[in-house]
Chains A and B, each alone.
Chain A
Amino acid sequence: MIISEAENLKLARQGNQEAYTSIVETYQNPVYNLCYRMLGNSEAAEDAAQETFWRAYNNLNRYDEERPFATWLLSIAAHYCIDQQRRKRLPTVDLDEIIEFNAEDPAPNPEHAMLDTEFSEEIQRQLATLNENDRAVLVLRYFYELSEDEICQALSITKSAVKSRLHRARQHMADQWNDDQENLTAERRQHESQTI
């Protein structure tokens, strides 16, 4: 028998942990992905994702059913990751983690997989240079396609704050990409001149 999400939520609110586990299974990927994009390494992302689900489980009674459950969950994850970043203020890129081979990746084409990894590595390097507040807004907007209003709700900030953070983050990402390209070109030229 397939139980709907609403039914699972109702059961979980009554303290049924099995029902909540099936909710965890449903949302583990988006929550983990958000934590990974925010924290930059898989170990921290795993811890953050588990803590997110634990906090959500403890606060299920506060969940407003008018809002989508996924947005509520992502908002808990984003807040937690921002707090973690503020506490640590450590470099957030773990390149070994980024390049790691993902055994669960269903992509049949190795070229696609390679391209995906390259995209992932590149974007993670750029995201790591943003401050945690701007990163959260950008990740929710482009990885989860949340609207500005949904981001307002998720991060408990005003719409103008969302707009200004998005503006600043886009500017930073564009500059970062251009700088990376210029560095790459310079490296290539240097390499070519050495070869000659």
Chain B
Amino acid sequence: MNHKPFENWILDELHLNASQKKEMEKHLSVCSRCKRLDTGWQASKRLMTHAQVKTPASGFSTRWQAYALKKQNLQKIRRYRLTLIGLFMLVFAASLTYMVASGSFLQMIADAFNGLTNMIVAVTSGLSALGLWLYRMPIAIPLTLGFIFFGLVNAFIMVAAFTLWNLKQRKVQTDEIRVE
């Protein structure tokens, strides 16, 4: 049995002529599959056309006015932020252009590089002097100082780790109580 044309007639809601209607009725009387489809669709359609129109709770337009006011305020804040960011970018771009154009930007880079080099030299010579100073001391003193320093650092790390672990445990316990 060829169901396809009849299924299409049912599901596409085509306007059938008299002979097509007869053909359809004849088919529906013998074909349970198409009959089921037709019954199901007609029932669903009836449900849709008879369903009541859902209405909002009273005072919808008043609530809408409040909503619109809130949205307008948000829009204002967003515009204000955008203007500020725009202005900041503009000032930044203008000052960068000015610095590059006037040559002071390159001078600034050169100064920064120079300062960094001086700092590295100073740190290196400082460390070298400290090494020389420690070398002249009896070995027990730098060793003791080292133990104290690294001991303190280790103790600090352990206290921090324990505190974090403790906090996490408390959070887990609180969550369990909430669930109970």
Binding site for B on A (CB under 8 A): 17, 21, 24-25, 28-30, 32-33, 36-37, 42, 45-46, 49-50, 53-54, 57, 102, 104-105, 107, 115-117, 119-120, 122-123, 126, 138, 142-143, 163, 166-167, 170-171, 173-178
Contacts and interface: CB of A to CB of B under 8 A. Distances in A.
Given A28-B56, A29-B55, A163 B12 contact: yes
Contacts of B52: 102, 105, 107, 116-117, 119-120
A104 B56 CA distance: 9
A119 B71 CA distance: 37
B41 A143 contact: no
A171 B11 contact: yes
B54 A177 contact: no
A104 B40 contact: no
Contacts of B60: 24-25, 28, 32, 46, 49
Contact of B47 (A28, A29, A102, A123): A123
Given A32-B60, A120-B51, A174 B67 contact: no
Interface string B43-67: 1110111111111111011011101
B36 A178 contact: yes
A138 B11 CA distance: 12
B47 A122 contact: yes
Interface residues of B, number: 34
Contact of A126 (B44, B57, B63): B44
Contacts of B44: 123, 126, 170, 173-174, 176-177
Interface of B: 8, 10-13, 36-41, 43-45, 47-58, 60-61, 63-65, 67-68, 71
A50 B47 contact: no
Contacts of B43: 174, 177
A143 B56 contact: no
B7 to A, nearest CB: 8
A126 B12 CA distance: 19
Contact of A32 (B12, B37, B54): B54
14 contacts: A17-B65, A21-B61, A36-B54, A37-B54, A42-B57, A54-B67, A119-B50, A122-B47, A167-B12, A170-B10, A170-B11, A173-B40, A176-B40, A178-B36
Nearest to B65: A21
A122 to B, nearest CB: 5
Contacts of A166: 12
Nearest to A179: B40
Nearest to A143: B48
Closest 9 CB pairs of A and B: A174-B40, A173-B44, A174-B41, A116-B52, A142-B48, A36-B54, A123-B47, A177-B40, A178-B40
Contact of A17 (B8, B11, B41, B68): B68
A91 B98 CA distance: 59
B51 A25 contact: no
A24 B63 CA distance: 11
